[in-house]
Amino acid sequence: MDVHVKLERVTRKYDGITALREVTLEVKNGEILTIIGPNGAGKTTLLRVLALLDEPSSGKVVYRGQAVGGSNISQLRKKVTMVFQRAVLLNETVFENVAYGLKLRGLNNDEITERVNDALSSVMLKGFGPRMAKKLSGGEQQRVVLARALALNPELLLLDEPTANLDPTNAAIVERIIGGLRGRTTIVLATHNIFQAKRISDRVGCLLGGEVIDVDKPKNIFTKPKNEIIRKFVRGEFF
Ligand code: ATP
């Protein structure tokens, strides 16, 4: 599998806090890479750097062989979409919410309608277009957020805790949608949910204190953890 995006010794600091430390990581084309790690490990920061929203303090991001920086950032950002942990919906219909990014990109009305309808079908919200987004249940709102991202047809999709706060039924639906994108869209997702990481991932990366301490197939991470810290974390014994 070819490399989609690569971080080379990326450090990201915020006012003296080192959120990522010398991270070197390859994300392969079409894979689902899950990042696990405790609160404050740097997961969101890692996703933001991969989404080209945060620039590294040092180190390099290489997107499909192209070093990211300067004039190419705005063009590359159009290929990448991040879904935030606490995504905000507009006080508008579901249709308008999903159409928003497409309008910003200047698509014509027919294209917008087609893409919105396709995206709503793929998150199993066909026919929800005219409803007010904020009146939907939490699980449905999360699916609208996902549809809004999918409508943009991103090459690379970053998902920060996509099923946090969802009931098991909605979490399963969202997982199924993510799994259905495997091979077509490259996905990096952050989660605290070890079971989800086991079910959904092609590979799992363990992040701790801003450092990637292992990246491997789920089977290896969970049955043959490389060190004591990972073993404790995957067994829920981490303090
Ligand atoms: P959680 O699981 O709690 O969401 P996380 O693994 O996503 O955590 P990050 O949100 O990436 O971790 O944060 C990593 C570290 O960087 C933390 O110490 C956090 O306080 C700090 N940090 C993150 N963003 C900022 C910011 N904008 N300004 C200052 N510090 C920040």
Q: Which of 44, 47, 86 to mutate to test the pocket of ligand 1 (most atoms within 8 A of CB)?
A: 44
| Cβ 43 under 6 angstroms from ligand 1 | yes
pLDDT above 80 for 26: yes
Which is it for strands 156-160 and 66-67: parallel, antiparallel or unpaired? unpaired
Domains and CATH numbers, the chain: 1-79+155-239 (3.40.50.300), 90-153 (no CATH)
| Cβ 44 under 6 angstroms from ligand 1 | yes
| Cβ 15 under 6 angstroms from ligand 1 | yes
Which is it for strands 32-36 and 203-208: parallel, antiparallel or unpaired? parallel
Residue type, 224: K
DSSP string for the chain: --EEEEEEEEEEEETTEEEEEEEEEEEETT-EEEEE--TTSSHHHHHHHHTTSS--SEEEEEETTEE--GGGHHHHHTTEEEE-TT----SSBHHHHHHHHHHHTT--HHHHHHHHHHHHHHTT-TT-TTSBGGGS-HHHHHHHHHHHHHTT--SEEEEESTTTT--HHHHHHHHHHHHHTTTTSEEEEEES-HHHHHHH-SEEEEEETTEEEEEE-HHHHHHS-SSHHHHHHHTT---
Nearest-CA residue for atom 16 of ligand 1: 19
pLDDT above 70 for 220: yes
Return the higher-pLDDT residue of 132 and 71: 132
pLDDT at 1: 61
Percent of the chain exceeding pLDDT 70 equals 99
Cα 19 to averaged position of ligand 1 atoms, centre (Å): 6
pLDDT at 163: 92
pLDDT band at 238 (very low <50, low <70, confident <90, very high): low
| Cβ 138 under 6 angstroms from ligand 1 | no
Mean pLDDT (the chain, rounded): 93
Ligand 1 atom closest to the Cα of residue 47 is: 11
